[in-house]
Amino acid sequence: MTDISIEKMNASNILGVKEICDLSFSSPWSIDSLNKELTNERAAYIVIKLGDKIVGFGGMWTLFDEADITNIAVHPDYRGHNFGDIIVENLIKIAKELGATSMTLEVRASNTPAINLYKKHNFTIEGTRKNFYENPKEDGHIMWNYNL
């Protein structure tokens, strides 16, 4: 897989992002919500492409010296090929460029593959938000990387 590229999420690739949201999340973001992120000055979203196919995306908001990952997802057909690593690495790089020194996120307590991905990038579980997620109702772990 050598034809991998990273680009900013934009209006021309938002339908591919929406498809991945629908396949990945029990409460996916709407097209309207995704479009609003394009004009959110605190938001930074990227897509990862294999050739012309969007295979994953990730986004975050930055405020002062903190970045908050809002979502990361890889198309189910392309999981297990390190695309999640590439997305996290690129979000960390962008966060540093924007002046962030730490990064946080919430993840479903049962999402072991995602938790392991974040641990691989020096995130640690720092707390739990009870019933943070809907459909199904589930706790969310709060993870931090304090040393970007």
Long-range contacts of 11-16 (CB under 8 A, 24+ apart): 11/35, 11/38, 13/47, 13/49, 13/54, 14/38, 16/47, 16/53, 16/54, 16/57
Residue 126 among the catalytic residues:
no
Question: Which residue in 106, 126, 138, 146 is the catalytic one?
Answer: 106
Peptide bond into 28 cis (omega under 30): no
Residue 118 among the catalytic residues:
yes
Question: Which residue in 45, 78, 118, 133 is the catalytic one?
Answer: 118
Q: Which residues are catalytic?
A: 106, 118
